């Protein structure tokens, strides 16, 4: 496969990420569309559209075209060597891999599912590793679609190789895909709440790096009723923040907090260091805040400490900020100006 023919396909693992773990553990990308049988005999878009209409006789033409376009992209257009992007709702990360096998209709658990084999090369890329325009493409309300605009192929390939997203410059020609069944990124409905959330995450990343992120976490804990002591910049002995209940912070539970601002997943060494600090300082609870999230080994190990240590990634910290924002000090609100907005919640379609 040449660079000119290679494509990027975004494939979701369920509306709530319910298929994420299975997909990563078994090296597959799976979609539901359980109302449709095997697509193995469909060789082009017209054949997929005919199958959709035959399976759902009451479906309107717009929905039929929508379903057929996604199913055709997944079963026919997707080729071995293409890149698969799977946004992870459970961990606020993005999994990146390459297609390794043809379409098949196979049993997953007790159900027959539409399946593609994928080698998940980077299963835990932080969302913060991508530019806002790519995150916007990743937030479209579809199960399967291609990501093509703003030189996406080169940029995602760069991240897949372990480097940072080089971003898009306006002098580059945005890529458009003329194939049937593909939708232009700009024309796809977006998850507006997720887009706003990603914008806030990017703002925090730009303005609260290093010790400033520890200061932000400290402000959130204070607003949440903890009495805290923030370690000064520099070596902190494994603890960025000491926290406790009561006027002097001496009452239980006592909390040790470690904050990591790097934009890469933290490993189990960081988790073990925090556990050691908890023993040293007599803290019953720990909070590990890692802006870049956590790798698979750390997450597995942290299950054993579920009742003593909590993990916060960038999304968890932002949720805590939402919860405590009105109580944050004025200087934090000035650096992070937010406004509550209301919108009508629409059903997130499987398609």
Q: Which two tokens stand for residue 250?
A: 């001496």
**Mean predicted confidence (pLDDT) in 22-40:** 95
Asked if 270 contacts 298 with a C-beta cutoff of 8 angstroms, the reply is yes
Q: Which two tokens stand for residue 333?
A: 């609100």
For residue 51, the SS3 value is: helix
Q: Give the per-residue pLDDT at 16.
A: 86
Going by pLDDT thresholds of 50, 70 and 90, the confidence category of residue 43 is very high
Q: Give the per-residue pLDDT at 220.
A: 98
Each residue of 49-78: b (16+ CB within 10 Å) or e?
Answer: bebbbeeeeebeeeebbbbbbbbbbbbbbb
- Residues 216-255 have pLDDT tens digits of 999 999 999 999 999 998 876 789 999 999 999 999 999 9
Asked if 74 contacts 144 with a C-beta cutoff of 8 angstroms, the reply is yes
Going by pLDDT thresholds of 50, 70 and 90, the confidence category of residue 140 is confident
- Residues 281-291 have pLDDT tens digits of 999 999 999 99
- Bridge partners of 95, per DSSP, are 86
- Bridge partners of 244, per DSSP, are 227
Q: Which two tokens stand for residue 29?
A: 């990308």
Q: How far apart are CA 81 and CA 90, in angstroms?
A: 26
Going by pLDDT thresholds of 50, 70 and 90, the confidence category of residue 184 is very low
- Model pTM score: 0.77
DSSP states of 241-279: EEEEESTTS-EEEEEEEEEE--SS-B-HHHHHHHHHHHH
Residue 350: is its pLDDT beyond 60? Answer: no
Residue 181: is its pLDDT beyond 80? Answer: no
* Dihedral pair phi/psi, residue 83, rounded to 5°: -90, 140
Residue ranges covered by each domain of the chain: 8-204, 209-335
Beta carbons within 8 Å of 236's beta carbon, 6+ residues apart: none
Q: How far apart are CA 203 and CA 291, in angstroms?
A: 13
Q: Which of 85-99, 110-124, 163-177 has the weakest average pLDDT?
A: 163-177
Question: How far, rounded to the nearest angstrom, does the alpha carbon of residue 5 sit from its chain's CA centroid?
Answer: 27
Q: Which two tokens stand for residue 83?
A: 């890149």
From the list 292, 289, 329, the residue with the least C-alpha distance to 312 is 289
Residue 178: is its pLDDT beyond 80? Answer: no
E strand or H helix at 116: strand 111-126
Stronger pLDDT, 170 or 8, i.e. the higher one? 8
Domain range 209-335, CATH class? alpha beta
Asked if 65 contacts 177 with a C-beta cutoff of 8 angstroms, the reply is no
Neighbours of 141 (CB within 10 A): 18
Q: Give the per-residue pLDDT at 288.
A: 98
Residue 263: is its pLDDT beyond 90? Answer: no
Residue 345: is its pLDDT beyond 80? Answer: no
Residue 196: is its pLDDT beyond 90? Answer: no
For residue 209, the SS3 value is: coil
Question: Parallel, antiparallel, or unpaired: how do β-strands 93-99 and 111-126 relate?
Answer: antiparallel
E strand or H helix at 55: helix 45-55
Residue 302: is its pLDDT beyond 70? Answer: yes
Q: Which of 24-38, 95-109, 223-237, 244-258 has the weakest average pLDDT?
A: 223-237
For residue 10, the SS3 value is: strand
Beta carbons within 8 Å of 167's beta carbon, 6+ residues apart: 131, 155
For residue 153, the SS3 value is: helix
């Amino acid at each position: 496969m040449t660079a000119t023919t290679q494509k990027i396909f975004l494939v979701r693992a369920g509306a709530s990420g319910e298929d994420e773990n299975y997909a990563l553990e078994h090296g597959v990308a799976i979609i539901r569309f359980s109302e449709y049988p095997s697509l193995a005999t469909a060789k082009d878009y017209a054949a997929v559209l005919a199958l959709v209409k035959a399976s759902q006789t009451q479906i309107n033409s717009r929905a039929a075209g929508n379903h057929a376009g996604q199913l055709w992209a997944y079963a026919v257009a997707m080729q071995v060597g293409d890149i698969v992007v799977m946004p992870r709702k459970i961990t606020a990360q993005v999994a990146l891999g390459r297609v390794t096998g043809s379409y098949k209709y196979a049993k997953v658990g007790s159900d027959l599912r539409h399946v593609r084999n994928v080698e998940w090369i980077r299963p835990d890329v932080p969302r913060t590793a991508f530019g806002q325009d790519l995150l916007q493409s990743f937030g479209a309300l579809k199960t399967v679609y291609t990501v093509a605009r703003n030189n996406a192929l080169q940029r995602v390939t760069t991240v897949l190789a372990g480097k940072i997203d080089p971003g898009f410059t306006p002098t580059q020609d945005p890529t458009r895909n003329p194939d049937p069944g593909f939708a232009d990124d700009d024309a796809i409905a977006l998850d507006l709440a997720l887009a706003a959330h990603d914008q806030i995450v990017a703002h925090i990343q730009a303005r609260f790096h290093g010790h400033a992120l520890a200061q932000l976490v400290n402000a959130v804990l204070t607003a949440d009723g903890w009495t805290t002591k923030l370690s000064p910049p520099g070596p902190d002995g494994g603890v960025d923040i000491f926290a406790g209940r009561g006027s002097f912070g001496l009452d239980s539970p006592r909390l040790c907090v470690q904050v990591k601002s790097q934009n890469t997943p933290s490993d189990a060494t960081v988790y073990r260091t925090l556990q050691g600090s908890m023993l040293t300082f007599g803290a019953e609870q720990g909070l590990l805040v890692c802006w870049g999230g956590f790798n698979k080994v750390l997450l597995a190990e942290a299950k054993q400490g579920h009742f003593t240590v909590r993990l916060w990634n960038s999304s968890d910290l932002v949720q805590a900020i939402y919860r405590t924002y009105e109580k944050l000090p004025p200087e934090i609100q000035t650096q992070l100006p937010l406004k509550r907005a209301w919108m009508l919640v629409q059903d997130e379609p499987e398609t």
